[in-house]
Amino acid sequence: MDAGRARKIADRIQQIVAEMLERRIKDPRLGFVTVTDTRVTNDLSEATVFYTVFGSEAERADSAAALESAKGLIRSEVGRQTGLRHTPTLLFTHDPLPDNARHLDDLFAEARARDAEIAKRAETARHAGDADPYRRPEDRDGSEEAEEAEDESSERAGRSAT
């Protein structure tokens, strides 16, 4: 089967499920559910519906139970509205993406705080050695001239040895 057609059907199933959850499913266990994505196999036999629930773990579990109990009604509506000969089996899966994104945001905030702390320490930090470790021509004194004379004598000694 064409993957493009499967993607279009997945988008349509996502719309149908979202509308069903908003308008027709009146289960009190169903919390604030958002359908985030739907994936359909290329043979159109299974549709995985990813959802998120705003709330606690208990509300997430209640919403999962409500979705499982309403699965037959939702599947029949999907079959009716898509016009497919064989309606895909629906599998509801909690989408971990928002939780992962929240965790990454927390890590980024922690990294920013550490960077700010390091920058604050760097403002009052001093270099371990001299502030300017490089020699300049204006800094010359007698000791450097003695080193140059020593370098010249070693060069002469190296030439006479060959």
pLDDT, one tens digit per residue, over 61-75 is 888 898 998 899 999
Share of the chain above pLDDT 70, in %: 84
Greater model confidence, 13 or 137: 13
Q: Where are the beta strands (DSSP E) in the chain?
A: 32-40, 46-54, 89-94
For residues 69 and 30, give the distance between their C-alpha atoms in angstroms, rounded to a whole number.
Answer: 11
pLDDT in tens, 21-34: 888 888 888 878 88
**Residue whose entry in the numeric block shows the structure tokens 């990294």:** 111
CA 37, distance to chain mean position in Å, is 17
